[in-house]
Amino acid sequence: MNRTKKNLCRTNLEAKMSRKQHLFGYLLALFLIFAFGFSEILAQNFTNNTGGTYQVGTGGGTIRMRSSGGKFDGTAPYGTASNPVPGTVIWYCDNNMNVGGLYTGGAYQPTYYTNLGTNGTGVKTFLEDVYIAGSYNPQGGNRDYTTNSVTVTYNGTTGNQVIAGENTSNGTGYYALVLTGGSTKEVGSGTTASVSYQFTLDNTSGAMTNNGTFNLNNTQASTASANITNNGTWNFNGSGTFTSSADFTNSASGAGGGVYVNSGAGNVTFTNFANNNGTFQTASGTTVYLTGSFTQSGGTIDMNCASNFHYSGGAQTILGNGANFASYGNLFLEGTGAKTAGGNVNVCNNLTVSQEVDMAPGTNDYILTMLNTNGTGSATYTGNVEVRGKFRWQNMTAGTAYTFNNANTQVTFSSVPTWFQLDVRQQTTPTNLNNFSNSTDIKRSITANFSGTGTISALRLYYEDSDKDATYNANDSLLRFAEGYSSTANHQKLVRGGATYTRNVSSAPKYVDYGGGSGSGINLIASAGGGSVYELSDGSNIVLTATPLVIVSITNGRWTNPGTWDVGYVPTANDDVEIRHVVWTGIDQAVFGGSAWTADEVDGSINGDAGAAANSITIANVSGATLVIGNQDQTMGTGERIFRTRLVPVTGFSSPGIYNLNTNANTGDGDSGSATGLNGIWIRPSGQFTPVLGTLQLTNNGSIMNKSILEIGICQ
């Protein structure tokens, strides 16, 4: 009995223990089940392991990622370049959320999507770069790409890919935007896409079309290697550069449509730019480089006066200005090839040239006009390059040297015309004269045109050895300016009172400069008759010539004083001289109403042309016209001192001689210092030396007073 009760107790205890163990096991199993499920709920990732597949139907499938920082992970995760997430992924939360993505190696990685979207009112902060092969449909709260410097890449390969309108009204806008793959890319109508850091359209991409607004606010160098067409509004705003190596076409329509290089934008470089419609505008201080073609078939081009436009490629055509393209701001003609005008070219401010420029290609005859809107414009050249054809300045200021077709063609005015133009044609014979000589004249046609009146006070003209005919045999150091005003008349001198010639003729750049003095300038006149030697007619040629020209006295003065002569320099053996005042030699004092001059006299004892004061001397039939041969010169010493003309005739020059045509009676005293009553020729008696007047031929129609020696002819 006792044993039986004892056995029964044991049996009950064992049963009780068995029930407890069973309950514990059940609870443990239940706990493990819940624990595992809870850990999965906390992770909220798409974990795909080896052997796992995820497919979407033909109508597409969508994954909504609801967890901040959600991951695509596992041993065979989706979201890699070789295994993009199929279908559509939408990051969806009304709370702020981090947009995670592919997660390997303990870190988020750039994630490749087929289609991507966002939704929910919370801000979506992207943690890593994203690649989108199909569509991107961001909705809901703002998107932040900037905090983690995220690059969004559209890499579709076929069809047309629409670039979502991400901008500062719905977040940060794109930080970095890359367009690649063969699909065409489009900013849709009515949308705005903004890029704050860097933009890349690579050469594997199809063409890009902007039908909305594209704001390039880039701070880093950005590039486009595929064609771009703008049908909406394209703003260059960022300080970073932009370089297009393909075509950029502006076909904008609607109010405000166009391409705008706005203030503060970095340098913009186009290969080819076509303005078919809409506005192309460059703001003050901006710079655009063009390496290829620039065309306009419609629309408006508006370049601020303080903007810079560079033709920086090889051979290029300069887009001409017109009603819908008023002018360039600062224009640079540079690069590796010559530039050819495609129309009239207007420059608002400055011109810089380092390549040859042709304003008269073929049968065209265009004008390059320096509008000089602000009055401070300049033309600057590198080396000896030139602008062939018509070059015009307007809005000029007296006293400023204006540079025309090359660095050493310059005009200064003491009073300015409305505009002044030089038409320079290299290796071309001027046609407004009938005595052009290939042997003594430079074959460079320089035609002056102007509007209004004005006065030239200084003139510099450039020439090259290639402008000389094969028969040219003149001395370049004798080159001076003449005016060719009619094809039926000889050219005549151009004279600025008291001016002197300075020549650089031994090596390039070769030029002749005529300026200085305080006398009358070269007055611009409208009549075509050439006027006097102090006037230049509209349409006349300015000729560089070494042909002998008559040099005329303009005041009483010493022979060796440049200010005595209209040309502003002392005559040489190649010059014919006309005396219309009292001109003396051998007197170093201020006499006859003239000033003192201490330069050495011409020493006639030197053989040949070096000792000749002129080729010929004519005393004009003008009251007071007198040649006085003096007897004092501190440098000459004692003995005879000869002042003479050329003694041997030279082909191409007039016959040497002295021609006294002054028929007015001489009633004065050439030995005194008074010019009163002097006429003809007066030779003083011996003094410090014995004065001698020598010539090959003497012709006298008036009065000669000889108190020393008059020597005529040569001993043969």
The domain segmentation of the chain, as residue ranges, is 405-547, 551-712
Cβ-defined contacts of 530-538 (< 8 Å, 24+): 530/483, 530/485, 530/486, 530/489, 530/492, 533/492, 533/493, 533/494, 533/495, 533/566, 534/495, 534/496, 534/497, 536/448, 536/456, 536/483, 536/494, 537/483, 537/485, 538/448, 538/449, 538/450
Contact 369, 380 (CB under 8 A): no
pLDDT score, position 695: 98
Can you give the pLDDT at residue 636? 64
What is the predicted pLDDT for the residue at 688? 85
Element (H, E) at 36: helix 2-43
Where are the extended beta strands (E) located within 386-469? 387-394, 401-403, 410-415, 419-425, 445-451, 454-463
Nearest CA-CA partner of 581 in 673, 679, 710, 693:
679
Of 613, 626, 614, 609, the C-alpha closest to 675 is 626
Assigned token pair, 158:
């076929």
Tell me what pLDDT residue 638 has: 76
3-state secondary structure at position 239: coil
Report how far residue 262's alpha carbon sits from residue 158's, in angstroms, rounded to the nearest whole number: 34
Separation of alpha carbons 382 and 352, rounded Å:
8
- The percent helix, strand, coil of the chain (3-state, each to 5) is 10, 40, 50
Q: What is the pLDDT of residue 325?
A: 98
Q: What is the pLDDT of residue 652?
A: 73
What distance in Å separates the CA atoms of residue 581 and residue 564, rounded to the nearest whole number?
Answer: 9
Over the chain (716 residues), what is each successive 10-residue block's mean pLDDT? 42 43 44 37 82 94 98 99 98 98 98 99 99 98 99 98 99 99 98 99 98 99 99 99 99 94 99 98 99 98 99 99 98 99 99 99 98 98 98 98 99 98 99 96 99 98 98 92 96 85 96 88 92 94 92 94 85 94 93 89 92 98 98 76 95 91 97 96 94 97 98 92
Which residues make beta-bridge pairs with 128? none
What CA–CA distances, in Å, run from 507 to 192, 442, 477, 612?
61, 16, 12, 27
* Cis status, amide bond into 509, omega within 30 of 0: yes
Tokens for 287, please give them: 């710079």
Beta carbons within 10 angstroms of residue 373's beta carbon: 16
